[in-house]
Chains A and B, each alone.
Chain A
Amino acid sequence: MDNQDTFLSNIRTALDKAPGIKRSKTTFPELFASTNTAEILQKVRSRTVAEQDQLIEILRENGNSLNVCTHIAVSFDEAAAVVVDLIRTKEPEFNHTKHVMLHDHPDVAALNLWNRFNREAVTLHTSFNSDQQIKDKTIASFIGITAPTNAVADSATLIQLTEPGRPRSTSLLPSIHIAILRRENLLADLTEAYALLEEEAHLDSLVFISGPSKTADIEAHMVNGAHGPREVHFIVLCEPMPEQSVEELSDEKSEIR
């Protein structure tokens, strides 16, 4: 801390303030003042299904321009069919066996992938927190499947928080990243995304992902797959909404995060 005190005293000298007197943030309330986000959050939580469907279209369009493939599924079965097709048709990049790493998330578990490969040599791993071999299994995997917290339509951005059972490497090391998204978790823009992040109590590590890894360092020639995944697929789950009153709908949405 001595080192910090000397350093900050030097800054206070540079700012023409008394070097030895620590300035407190409470004296400068405007320094950490933020705009009230209640209105933004209210807008997110009261979004109608029709508005959400519009966001899917915007997400798809913006994803296209980043080489993201967006699939729409009306049920977990349909979403699983998309995943199974990708696992069957894509080839591993770094080895010859088909390993797939799945986040420990109910929406990924609901795909029931374990039950869909009877005759093929496909090994499915789930990133359970207790598994000590997650790193090696992820390195071996050619597809990683996650269920990000939210997605932002305007920039085709996934918001992935690091949580128990949801390692960072699942969306990073495999050649293909598949993100399972619920329609109701789509956001219009980054303003909404940041407003939700401000609500988050334990914000330790997170990442915004907008499309596959890319580089244009050689003669400005764009190539996907510099270090991270070279393909990204969004599967947007649009389960038909049961008949509900508007109040119930809005209550439910406020719980989804």
Chain B
Amino acid sequence: MSSPNSTYSEEAKKGIASPRLQASLHNLQHRFGKGAMDLWANMEDQDMRRRVKKSRMKNLAHLDIVLDELAEKVRARGGNIYFAKTAQDAIDYTLAVARKNKVKRVVKGKSMTSMEIGIDPALEDEGIEVVETDLGEYIIQLAGDTPSHIIAPCIHMDRNQIGKLFAEKLGIDHTNDPPTLTMAARKALREKLLSADMGLTGCNLACAETGHISLVSNEGNIRMSTTMPPVHVALMGMERIVATLEEHRETTQLLTRGAALQKLSTYVSFIGGPSSDDDPDGPKEFHLVIIDNGRSKILADPEFREVLACIRCGACLNICPVYGRIGGHAYNSTYCGPIGAVVTPLLDGINKHADLCKGETLCGACKDICPVQIDLPRMLAALRHKLAYGSDRWNTKQHNPAEAYTFRIWRLLVTKSSLYQYLIKIARFFQRPFVTKNHMIRKMAGIASGWTDGRDLPPIAPKTFAELWEEKYSKNRPAAPKAAEEEN
């Protein structure tokens, strides 16, 4: 999140220019995007998505009560709860737990919250080895890269790159066979998982009524990370909670369907505290870190509260025409795609991430595919409004005063017909040197040159529509059809 905004277009260009990424994104969207839309269309219980959305919003409106209930239940089983106002609070607490337990190696289950707060560098600075155990995240970590999709982190890499990486880093014979590569990672990570001192995971969905966090995975790495090490620390965004088991069932089903068209992921683990005295295995210490880090500010704004209903399935990435071309790196954030374009500016600064909401098309596909029907296009437009006019609440400055000034002048021109017609005539004259033989403008001058960087523009027509209309019809208007003909 630290790079400047200008990387959006640079990274987008790189993404568009990569045939490998384009092929992967096409396959992903073709399979999962279309698949999810088919699932929603053919779902027997057509009211389920609306119901879950309603329950998500209800729980947000009573968040203090459900979090209190969760904390009480987890504490009753001997679990530790820490409420972290900021990312730094969460890091400090986790480091304190690691120091107390003399942790040398941490195994991680895939967690975007952990990336959001930047826990990895903090642990590494303490001399602690941090190992990602989700295969995609592990590949990304070995490559020193960043994830580019919420559930398929290394979608931008192909088997040849991964084969080369494994040969270098794991010392295996070079192969580009996915099963052989997977087995190599299985062996390497098993050693790490069985010898780690601490497991660090996120939380997909907590259930207040029973006092559990739940985690979904297909690989089993999260079960390993929460079962084998003696200490488990779970990082949970404060909004990832349902009140009842019934809500948990429906929300989880929408999560796994939205994410990968699965009725359920391979594993859904419910963890309610440390292993009890008569449990044969499981961690002896359990810490749940509930994180705000800017979420309460979103909660307080009725315009954006809805985005906290997100269940992070990543379905919106699988249909977005913009993400589908530029890939995840352009978003320069833990959260990419349409959800990232809304959440990242809200968590990390609207001005800082101004390109994200401007880059989306407002086509509405993300709202259609969202399992909980979050109106992302509305919020993208609201963010653009903040950038256009500034916002005290969000400490947002007017993004481009020159652009705002230009549009004010434009408004003046288009609302004064005679002035507009006059200027069009002048523009027709000045455009002549730019019109090429194929009657297109290939390159414009000065600040307008950006418009023709990626495409040719048609020149201003010799006559405007209004002029043509005037010529053809106003003086020679056709007679109205006769009433008798109409009856026939």
Binding site for B on A (CB under 8 A): 3-4, 6-8, 10-17, 22-25, 28, 31-35, 62, 66, 94, 127, 129, 131, 134-135, 138-139, 154-155, 157, 162-169, 172, 190-191, 194, 197-198, 203-221, 223, 225-229
Contacts and interface: CB of A to CB of B under 8 A. Distances in A.
> Which of B154, B210, B279 is the most central at the interface, judged by chain A CB atoms within 10 Å of its CB?
B279
> Which of B27, B152, B243 is the most central at the interface, judged by chain A CB atoms within 10 Å of its CB?
B243
Contacts of B58: 31
Q: Sort A-B residue pairs by CB-CB distance and give the 7 closest, nearest first.
A: A228-B220, A226-B219, A7-B83, A217-B136, A14-B300, A221-B178, A167-B280
Given A134-B280, A210-B264, A217-B134, A24 B65 contact: yes
A215 B69 contact: no
Nearest to A226: B219
B269 to A, nearest CB: 5
A209 to B, nearest CB: 6
Given A7-B292, A8-B67, A204 B62 contact: no
A218 B137 CA distance: 11
B442 to A, nearest CB: 39
B143 to A, nearest CB: 13
Contact of B281 (A134, A157, A219): A134
B182 A218 contact: yes
B255 interface: no
Given A204-B276, A218-B182, 4 more contacts: A25-B69, A94-B190, A135-B281, A214-B218
B125 interface: no
Interface in B192-241: 193-194, 208-210, 212, 218-221, 223-224, 227-228, 238
B276 A228 contact: no
A33 B223 CA distance: 30
A198 B134 contact: no
B249 A190 contact: yes
Nearest to B89: A3
Contacts of B135: 215, 217-218, 226
Contacts of A226: 135, 182, 185-186, 218-221
Interface string B292-313: 1000110110000000000000
A105 to B, nearest CB: 13
B336 interface: no
Interface in B1-44: 24, 27-28, 31
Contacts of A227: 133, 186, 189-190, 193, 219-221, 223-224
Given A169-B228, A198-B245, A203-B272, A220 B27 contact: yes
A8 B299 CA distance: 13
A212 to B, nearest CB: 7
Nearest to A229: B220
A214 B266 contact: yes
Contacts of B244: 32-34
B169 to A, nearest CB: 15
A10 B292 contact: yes
Interface of B: 24, 27-28, 31, 58-59, 61-69, 71, 77, 81-83, 85, 133-136, 139, 152-154, 158-159, 162, 178-179, 181-183, 185-187, 189-190, 193-194, 208-210, 212, 218-221, 223-224, 227-228, 238, 243-246, 248-249, 253, 262-273, 275-276, 278-282, 290, 292, 296-297, 299-300
A223 B275 contact: no
B159 A3 contact: no
24 contacts: A4-B68, A4-B71, A6-B85, A14-B299, A14-B300, A22-B64, A31-B62, A32-B244, A34-B209, A134-B280, A134-B281, A167-B282, A172-B224, A172-B227, A204-B77, A210-B267, A218-B178, A220-B28, A226-B219, A227-B186, A227-B193, A227-B223, A228-B219, A228-B220
Contacts of A220: 24, 27-28, 31, 152
A205 B58 CA distance: 27
Contacts of A218: 135, 139, 154, 159, 162, 178, 181-182
B179 A223 contact: yes
B279 A167 contact: yes
B102 to A, nearest CB: 19
Contacts of B179: 221, 223
A49 B82 CA distance: 50
A252 B257 CA distance: 36
Nearest to A10: B296
Contacts of A197: 245
B243 A219 contact: no
Nearest to A225: B186
A31 B244 CA distance: 8
B133 to A, nearest CB: 7
B245 A139 contact: no
B266 A228 contact: yes
A11 B275 contact: no
Nearest to B187: A94
Contacts of A229: 220
Contacts of A34: 209, 244-246
A160 B373 CA distance: 33
Contacts of B297: 14
A223 to B, nearest CB: 4
Contacts of B66: 31
B53 to A, nearest CB: 16
B278 A164 contact: yes
A154 B253 CA distance: 12
Nearest to A164: B278
Given A23-B62, A31-B243, A227-B224, A209 B266 contact: yes
A207 B223 contact: yes
A214 B273 CA distance: 27
Nearest to A7: B83
Contacts of A14: 296-297, 299-300
Nearest to B71: A4
Nearest to A134: B280
A209 B266 CA distance: 6
Nearest to A135: B281
Contacts of B262: 210
A212 B262 CA distance: 14
B65 A228 contact: no
A23 B64 contact: yes
A72 B71 CA distance: 44
Contacts of A15: 61, 63-64, 299-300
B243 A32 contact: yes
Given A135-B281, A157-B264, A217-B135, A204 B290 contact: no
B410 to A, nearest CB: 39
A207 B272 CA distance: 12
Contacts of A213: 218-220, 266-267
A164 B224 CA distance: 19
Contacts of B243: 31-32
